[in-house]
Amino acid sequence: MFTGLISDIGEVTATRSGGDTWMKIACTYDPATIEIGASICCAGTCLTAIEVGVEGNRCWFAVEASKETLDMTTLGNWGEGTRINLERSLKFGDELGGHLVSGHVDGVCEIVSRTPDGDSVRFVFRAPEELAKFIAAKGSVALNGTSLTVNEVSGCEFGVNIIPHTLQVTTWGDALPGDKINIEIDMLARYVARLAEFQK
């Protein structure tokens, strides 16, 4: 489990295709704290560290992504130099500052627009129709692993504001209209919707 509060920006430094796709990701984490088998949220996708090492003065960890993961997320488009939001998994007693994020991406949405809004930036996204029904104004959504609050919803489109701090410490500062974004809907919204189906 994760909170959607990004703790580092990683960079893909190598990829290798095979039965699954192997990726090497550089980061600033202390390598001594990453155990083989640890879960790390990479742009919203929970991946397992299968190798850990140090190259130069940077830590790196390697992951493998299955065809299902590549098909359901943006990982299939990652290549050398791709920058990604990272978050380590929760430990008991950690502060829950965002919302509960599983790292199980539901699909891919698209940035429709990016406009300044005071010191913040207002983004509008277009979600797949089958996921839009789970997105509600003032509810939570995880986008590329970042816990964000929904401002408004109109059909399949919804807006969020991203504050300057978040723009600086995540990949959102570089995000542009047309970019594809991993989306995980709030698990509470999914369960409420499922419960409502049984009550009809």
Run means of pLDDT, 10 residues per run, the chain, 200 residues? 93 94 97 96 98 94 96 96 95 71 95 97 97 92 97 97 97 98 86 66
CB 91 within 8 A of CB 2: no
| pLDDT score of 91 | 74
Q: By C-alpha distance, which of 49, 28, 2 is closest to 146?
A: 2
Tokens of 148: 């964000």
| pLDDT score of 106 | 95
How far is residue 167's CA from residue 151's CA, in Å, rounded to a whole number? 17
CATH class of domain segment(s) 107-198: mainly beta
| pLDDT score of 196 | 66
Distance of CA 126 to the CA centre of its chain: 16
Q: What is the dihedral of CA 176, 14, 10, 131, to 10 degrees?
A: 50
| pLDDT score of 50 | 98
| pLDDT score of 122 | 98
How far is residue 38's CA from residue 36's CA, in Å, rounded to a whole number? 6
| pLDDT score of 191 | 66
| pLDDT score of 194 | 63
Identity (one letter) of the amino acid at 121?
A: V
| pLDDT score of 59 | 97
The helix (H) or strand (E) run that includes residue 62 is strand 58-65
Domain 8-88 belongs to what topology? Elongation Factor Tu (Ef-tu); domain 3 (2.40.30)
The dihedral built from the CA positions of residue 174, 176, 182 and 186, taken in this order, carries a sign that is positive
Domain ranges of the chain: 8-88, 107-198
Fold agreement (8-88, 107-198): yes
Cα distances from 103 to residues 1, 132, 182, 191, 197, in angstroms, run 7, 18, 10, 17, 25
